Structure 1
Amino acid sequence: MSTAVPDKARVVIVGGGVSGCSVAYHLAKLGWRDIVLLERKQLTCGTTWHAAGLIGQLRASLNMTRLAKYSADLYIKLEEETGVATGMRQCGSITVALTEERKEEILRQASLARAFDIDVQEIGPEEVLKMYPHLNISDVTAAVHLPLDGQCDPANIAMALAKGARQNGARIIEGVKVTSVTSANGKVNGVDWERDGETGSIAADIVVNCGGMWGRDLAAQSGVTLPLHACEHFYIVTEAIKDLPRLPVLRVPDECAYYKEDAGKMLLGAFEPKAKAWGMQGIPEDFCFDQLPEDFDHFEPILEQAINRLPLLATTGIHTFFNGPESFTPDDRYYLGEAPELKGYWVAAGYNSIGIVSSGGAGFALAQWINDGEPPFDLWEVDIRRAQPFQKNRHYLRERVTETLGLLYADHYPYRQMATARGIRRSPIHEQLKAHGAVFGEMAGWERANWFADEGEAREYKYSWKRQNWFDNQKREHMAVREAVGLFDMTSFGKIRVEGRDAASFLQRLCGNEMDVEPGRIVYTQMLNTRGGIECDLTVTRLSKTAYLLIVPGATLQRDLTWLRRHLSDEFVVITDVTAGESVLCVMGPNARALMQAVSPNEFSNEAHPFGAAREIEIGMGLARAHRVTYVGELGWELYVSSDQAAHVFETLIDAGADHGLKLCGLHTLDSCRIEKGFRHFGHDITDEDHVLEAGLGFAVKTKKGEFIGRDAVLRKREQGLSRRLVQFQLKDPEPLLFHNEVIVRDGEIVSIITSGNYGHHLGGAIGLGYVPCAGENTEEMLASSYEIEIAGERHTAVASLKPLYDPGSLRVRM
């Protein structure tokens, strides 16, 4: 007899893979009742049942590592809690490098693992052979061993989570398909379902889409953007191998391969460079525990290399050739959180073939987020709000995921750019920039000039962990900004108008700085959460008594729009995304005033146009709104130009610029200039987990203005004192480079990581920012310590500073 479907619930979870079961388990553990999980067929039947079940704890950031470690710990405990065997065993893992570039990468990862308190050992080829007999180590350059990594039985992990959820009161019902998520007034109010011709509805305030490769189409029915697409994923399982010992998981990323010993057999899987997208017309309705057709020709290059790497495969039969679908996303990161388009619509999907190791922690984090109304810690890198509306386009997704699958095992070079699905969002002066030698990168779909090639120079990246081919180009651009004048295209800035009778009071409530300023004033501020963490880093320009313009990073636009809209109460305020309406051209450097005076009849003196002021100007034969602000630490203006006049204004500046040393500059130079000045970058140096005072941004918080979100947390922190501070570092040796995630060593002890880094061409060395613990210490005590930065296992002496190393008095921006 079929299980009865209730007519109401507190939360409905759609999808019975490991992700959905984990969300149900963790909500139930928090004491939630009236939890209903609906699975269209049978638990685990989509992707979970055929996953390889690798449990690698080290991820690309501290919080993603925290979630992976949580998963590993949970899966060890689940068997005792539920009685379901999970197959979890900590057999360890080995990653081997076959090139010097890969050696640099895995040694950097080993340093990071130590900073994240993960047991790790760098080992040589001979030690690899002792751990992995039969392996060909002739070309192995280095290896890293993580002894507490492991493997598990994916289907049983999901079943154990499901049983644990049931034991705590959740209802899990198989054979029920959710046909739609219903809503009213911008908020979820339930789901419609069908089972064997029977239909019904469940009233609910919260729905969680854990639909895996079906999730995108389900989300689209509700107008929710969930950009993911299925790809074919291949592995083989050998016949039993006599006397095969228990082995660690082995990863050989230079050959796109991973190996897992299981019950005396070997599993060989692949993340090939060019994948095969699948399900272009949608996932078949009857798809369950299905396999896709074999494609041995596609897998053969991987197998040929594997036979050389593990010669015993040459004399071992293949028991299973498996091909099954898995979901991949445009940036190889999964999605968590509440969808910006619909309140109460939550997502946990798009796991990019690391769903088993991710889902335990992801389910925990999402359950906490739903329960508390805010994430337990910074989850921006997997936040659903990073998805751009255009990314729901299926043609775009089909193109992009053929690349992202392979990028899991590609060299993770700094500044690596996507090759597929490009050219979708372009500035009005894109072609002019291209004609001047621009080499473009992509961010949130925007094509942005990252650097400019010289005449005759190849317009392409040559990736490396050392100085890449554009290093000298960046230096020339950087020095032009410091010594003459540079021109940046920053059209990708997010631009939001907040207007209406209550616009001022609304922004006073959301922002830490004073918003009730005169029209024409620009305010640098943050929007804070109740913990004092930074939800948004922005400038706000008051255009009139009832209108403001908010300038935010292009990557966070959807996040920031959602934050604003979700905090509207009964105020008379209209919030509008006007990003596409204006281009932004930034004129920056000591010669900026002379250049502006050459192209405009307006006055640009400090008296006529002081720092932090905005006004309309004439420029060439057009008009612009000139904002006197800077992100590079120099005199300069951001010019907001109607998109239809952008090309004309650009040409006007270029024509006049020759007399003033004007140089076109890219985003790499913007970043190297800002880090010399110690300016923060949202998502790296400042996040919703970083307290605004510890980030060194207290000057932008005005507690005396009255109540605003986060004010109490700021007052508490001022009373308690800081537990850590954001510090700027410069390496004394001018040769090494800093990018992100290098290890900070204080008086011989690892204390933190570099949050962002670049090369300070004016200062003559690599510059980084990073938080240093400082509870009970004053500034002198902090700076009296000796600091080193560990890069790929080697430590380099660093100078530490709490003031900007470049122009600490900010005299140049006001010159």
Structure 2
Amino acid sequence: MALPPEKARVVIVGGGVIGCSVAYHLTKLGWTDVVLLERKQLTSGTTWHAAGLIAQLRATQNMTRLAKYSQELYGNLEAETGVATGFRRNGSITVALSEERREEILRQASMARAFGVEVEEISPSELKTRYPHLNTEDVKAAVYLDKDGQGDPANIALAMARGARQRGAQIIERTKVMGFVKDGRRITGVSWEAEGESGTIACDHVVNCAGMWGHEVGRQMGVNVPLHACEHFYIVTDTVPGLGQLPVLRVPEECAYYKEDAGKILLGAFEPVAKPWGMKGIPEDFEFDQLPEDFDHFEPILEQAVNRMPLLAEAGIHTFFNGPESFTPDDAYHLGLAPEMDNVWVAAGFNSIGIQSAGGAGMALAAWMDSGEKPFDLGDVDIARMQPFQGNRTYLFERSKETLGLLYADHFPYRQKATARGIRRSPLHEALKTEGAVFGEVSGWERANWFADRGQVAAYEYSWKRQNWFENSAREHKAIRENVGIYDMTSFGKIRVEGPDAEAFLNHVSASNLSVPVGKIVYSQFLNGSGGIEADVTITRLSETVFLVVTPAATRIADQAWMRRHLGDHRVTLTDMTAAEAVICVMGPNARKLLQKVSPDDFGNDANPFGTCQDIEIGMAVARAHRVTYVGELGWELYVSADMAAYVFEVLRDAGRDLDAKLCGLHMMDSCRIEKGFRHFGHDISSEDHILEAGLGFAIKKTDVPYIGREAVERKREQGLQRRLVQFLLSDPEPLLYHAEPIVRDGRITGYLSSGNYGHHLGGAVGLGYVPCAGETAQDVLASTYEIEVAGRRISATASLRPLYDPKSERVKV
């Protein structure tokens, strides 16, 4: 048996399909000093029993890009390596049994067209032709993707392993990782043990590809990798005479998928309430293992399946399989550089889509490791999105019961997780709950999304049409536009940047000028070397040596990690202050009037102009009033120490009754911000969206002080824009926009909406999206005719490069 070397450039922990993919792609980029360690045999964890479905379409363009890459790779692997992957493009069909699911799959079909995926909507009669064994009596609609396929999971992994070996990688089985040697924020060695031998590999990088062991291996590494194994069931029939080759079939409303393979049918399930597994750890000898059968758990799925495909009633069951798969808290896998360390990478937690994801994920991670920058936006799966508490075992146990089933559940807009809730609460939580707040969850934070009327059930009723809170949010929107509203933004990430070099450091990491007076608030972006936006923040100068960086709730960890990795020799400390202060927003034309009722301080333009903050008294408490807005109206964000927040809210609430001040939720905030054309990080702007093409050039510093991304900004100014972010308003007031709807320019799909919501003041749905414009002026872009495609229907839209609401921003500065 070959023993591991004493040194390697990178050590990959885990020999499933993703570990093999990372090794394969690193060697393709010229990394020869690659070592992969597998505790047992390659594929012996979960890869070997995967169903091997290989679809192209995912929920976002970049996830679709990765899935399409996987397909193309697997189609060519056999010729390269000599290992048969069993890959074939036999297509896939998804059916809808209800009007709501019909809307969903037709919207997905529109999204597929925007992402360049071939898709065909087929009628129930056409479905019967393509899948003759199916009961189609209650089928409302179906979509067919011709290029989807299936493959042999184990051989796909083994093919990539051979490809990696052919280019110099060492893949060593029967070798268990025992621990890691750490030096500050780096791992310098990986300790191993194999058949009585042991040693340590010195290394520059480590990759956690340990699958369902990834959580525990992450703990040993000092990084948070939240995932939990669940039991995953499928049956395989005996050979069915004359079955013939069939597309993969998904019937999500019955939690079932069907795969034909070698004349047999594999029926798999994603049941609504899953069975977590491995709470006491995974057995040491686990290798190609099955879990005990639980027919009672699977039986409801099978009963529906027999009705859906009557031939199952006659076919014998050859195999009843139960094997573990790992699932993450949000059903997105973990990829990227762990925020806690500087050379620890993660590729784990693939939520039962590891085969279709592994090729693209391995390619993307290898490119990131090789260049030091993400090859494109990977925010959907970036490990830095995970919060520390999400590594809690009890939390993972509770959440994993739900996440498996969510893969096939209705993907309604605004759908909230039902399990593992209530963990992070604002000091205002109970007061808002008493007032009828209906909460959503982001990064564990419970946030009031809308307020139920007296007598109305304070809960979501989901739909693709107007949901039960639509009119509630419209009234909240109206209050912000015409009067005054109060809402809670305590979940803002708050990072204190302090030290003698704080100003110089922020001028380096930020594209904006931070050489400003004390009390000034600067809207800013952190850029990468390509001019893409890594963070979208406001920065307030609190003193000569102290700044407060305010971030979205979901990106605080990523934004703080970005700053820390660019500290260099600057004498600066970074402190997470998120839980220390609540943020109460008072917004609307009468915001000043409300604050003057509760504070003796001056809120006029001379004393407190837009973009500045001041310390104030409010009732008997003190706060810091930041005059900024994300809703496009006069208003303040009040930063209040957590101990006084409930009191300050009571003071505002009581004083606001005379003004008919309305409590508002964050659905209102999003509908207001999109009317104003304000960008939403993670949707409208990301690491691959250039700051100038995003229309944020006004935030760039006008000095000669260098900053990260400056060369890319200057290059873009010289070369001209390749695309522009455009705002759209539908002419028909009825349809709703969410995101990813195709943009149709002069009859041709040219892009898709990055975000969408309803513009209650403008009287129709509003979206933002990028339009290609190489060699064109702004006037050229606006001279075209635009439509937005919604569930297959094209609706005319007004396009604008300036905000359709208050284009001169006069309302925020009154």
Q: Distance in 1 between matches of 2:777 and 2:27?
A: 45
Whether the 8 Å CA contact 1:533–1:691 is kept in 2: the answer is yes
| Cα shift readout 1:485-509 (whole Å, capped 9, x = no counterpart) | 0101000000000010100000000
Secondary structure of the corresponding residue to residue 172 of structure 1: strand
Secondary structure of the corresponding residue to residue 790 of structure 1: strand
Q: Specify the alignment match of 1:732 in structure 2.
A: 731
1:707 Cα deviation (Å)?
A: 0.5
| Cα shift readout 1:752-793 (whole Å, capped 9, x = no counterpart) | 011111111111110000000011111111111000000010
Q: Distance in 2 between matches of 1:83 and 1:713?
A: 43
Q: Specify the alignment match of 2:615 in structure 1.
A: 616
Q: Specify the alignment match of 1:643 in structure 2.
A: 642
Q: Specify the alignment match of 2:577 in structure 1.
A: 578
Say yes or no: does 1:340 pair with 2:352.
no
Give ranges in structure 1 of 5+ residues lacking alignment: none
Q: Specify the alignment match of 2:559 in structure 1.
A: 560
Q: Specify the alignment match of 1:631 in structure 2.
A: 630
Q: Distance in 2 between matches of 1:360 and 1:134?
A: 33
Whether the 8 Å CA contact 2:399–2:420 is kept in 1: the answer is yes
- Taking structure 2 as the reference length, the TM-score comes to 1.00
1:531 Cα deviation (Å)?
A: 0.4
| Cα shift readout 1:668-708 (whole Å, capped 9, x = no counterpart) | 00000000000000000000000000000000002424200
Q: Distance in 1 between matches of 2:294 and 2:385?
A: 35
Q: Specify the alignment match of 2:513 in structure 1.
A: 514
Q: Specify the alignment match of 2:194 in structure 1.
A: 195
Secondary structure of the corresponding residue to residue 767 of structure 2: strand
- Which residue identity does 1:450 align to in structure 2? N
Secondary structure of the corresponding residue to residue 101 of structure 1: helix
Q: Distance in 2 between matches of 1:116 and 1:477?
A: 35
Q: Distance in 1 between matches of 2:106 and 2:280?
A: 43
1:221 Cα deviation (Å)?
A: 1.7
Whether the 8 Å CA contact 1:95–1:251 is kept in 2: the answer is yes
Q: Specify the alignment match of 1:236 in structure 2.
A: 235
Q: Distance in 1 between matches of 2:121 and 2:53?
A: 20
Q: Distance in 2 between matches of 1:345 and 1:779?
A: 44
Q: Distance in 1 between matches of 2:370 and 2:111?
A: 31
Q: Specify the alignment match of 2:447 in structure 1.
A: 448
Alignment of 1:444-593 (within 5 A): 444-593=443-592
Q: Specify the alignment match of 2:151 in structure 1.
A: 152
Whether the 8 Å CA contact 1:108–1:742 is kept in 2: the answer is yes
1:99 Cα deviation (Å)?
A: 0.5
Say yes or no: does 1:80 pair with 2:79.
yes
Alpha carbons of 1:364 and 1:703: their partners in 2 closer, same or farther (altered >3 Å)? farther
Q: Distance in 2 between matches of 1:12 and 1:605?
A: 60
1:343 Cα deviation (Å)?
A: 1.0
Q: Distance in 1 between matches of 2:710 and 2:315?
A: 66
Whether the 8 Å CA contact 1:512–1:703 is kept in 2: the answer is no
1:222 Cα deviation (Å)?
A: 2.6
Q: Specify the alignment match of 2:666 in structure 1.
A: 667
Give ranges in structure 2 of 5+ residues lacking alignment: none
Whether the 8 Å CA contact 1:514–1:705 is kept in 2: the answer is no
1:197 Cα deviation (Å)?
A: 3.0
| Cα shift readout 1:575-630 (whole Å, capped 9, x = no counterpart) | 00010000000000000000000000001111111101111000010000000000
Q: Distance in 1 between matches of 2:457 and 2:181?
A: 53
Alignment of 1:695-774 (within 5 A): 695-774=694-773
Q: Distance in 2 between matches of 1:667 and 1:784?
A: 35
Q: Distance in 1 between matches of 2:546 and 2:563?
A: 15
| Cα shift readout 1:100-156 (whole Å, capped 9, x = no counterpart) | 111111111111111111111000011111111121000011100001100000000
Whether the 8 Å CA contact 1:190–1:206 is kept in 2: the answer is no
Q: Distance in 2 between matches of 1:442 and 1:89?
A: 40
Q: Specify the alignment match of 2:354 in structure 1.
A: 355
Whether the 8 Å CA contact 1:244–1:265 is kept in 2: the answer is yes
1:558 Cα deviation (Å)?
A: 0.6
1:255 Cα deviation (Å)?
A: 0.4
Moved over 6 A (4+): none
Whether the 8 Å CA contact 1:603–1:609 is kept in 2: the answer is yes
Which deviates more, 472-481 or 653-662?
A: 653-662
Secondary structure of the corresponding residue to residue 550 of structure 2: strand
Q: Specify the alignment match of 1:44 in structure 2.
A: 43
Q: Specify the alignment match of 1:778 in structure 2.
A: 777
Say yes or no: does 1:312 pair with 2:311.
yes
Q: Distance in 1 between matches of 2:133 and 2:421?
A: 43
- Which residue identity does 1:757 align to in structure 2? G
Q: Specify the alignment match of 1:115 in structure 2.
A: 114
- Which residue identity does 1:75 align to in structure 2? Y
Q: Distance in 2 between matches of 1:655 and 1:118?
A: 55
Q: Specify the alignment match of 1:809 in structure 2.
A: 808
Computed over aligned residues only, the root mean square deviation of the Cα atoms, in angstroms, reads 0.6
Q: Distance in 2 between matches of 1:550 and 1:702?
A: 17
Q: Distance in 1 between matches of 2:580 and 2:531?
A: 33
Alignment of 1:590-605 (within 5 A): 590-605=589-604
- Which residue identity does 1:186 align to in structure 2? R
| Cα shift readout 1:460-495 (whole Å, capped 9, x = no counterpart) | 100000000000000000000001001010000000
- Which residue identity does 2:200 align to in structure 1? S
Whether the 8 Å CA contact 2:187–2:221 is kept in 1: the answer is no
| Cα shift readout 1:9-67 (whole Å, capped 9, x = no counterpart) | 00000000000000000000111011000000000000000000000100001110010
Q: Distance in 2 between matches of 1:129 and 1:79?
A: 34
Secondary structure of the corresponding residue to residue 754 of structure 1: strand
Whether the 8 Å CA contact 2:428–2:646 is kept in 1: the answer is yes
Q: Distance in 1 between matches of 2:571 and 2:621?
A: 34
Whether the 8 Å CA contact 1:450–1:666 is kept in 2: the answer is yes
Whether the 8 Å CA contact 2:114–2:740 is kept in 1: the answer is no
Which deviates more, 374-383 or 174-183?
A: 174-183
Secondary structure of the corresponding residue to residue 424 of structure 2: coil
Whether the 8 Å CA contact 2:94–2:142 is kept in 1: the answer is yes
Q: Distance in 2 between matches of 1:450 and 1:377?
A: 31
Question: Aligned residues: percent identity?
Answer: 69
Q: Specify the alignment match of 2:131 in structure 1.
A: 132
| Cα shift readout 1:426-485 (whole Å, capped 9, x = no counterpart) | 001100000000000000000000000001110110000000000000000000000100
- Which residue identity does 1:690 align to in structure 2? D
Q: How many residues align?
A: 814
Alignment of 1:198-347 (within 5 A): 198-347=197-346
- Which residue identity does 1:361 align to in structure 2? G
1:88 Cα deviation (Å)?
A: 0.2
Whether the 8 Å CA contact 2:97–2:140 is kept in 1: the answer is yes
- Which residue identity does 1:640 align to in structure 2? Y
Q: Distance in 2 between matches of 1:662 and 1:174?
A: 66
Q: Specify the alignment match of 2:64 in structure 1.
A: 65
Alignment of 1:676-691 (within 5 A): 676-691=675-690
Q: Distance in 2 between matches of 1:174 and 1:188?
A: 22
Whether the 8 Å CA contact 2:513–2:703 is kept in 1: the answer is no
Q: Specify the alignment match of 2:100 in structure 1.
A: 101
Q: Distance in 1 between matches of 2:130 and 2:503?
A: 65
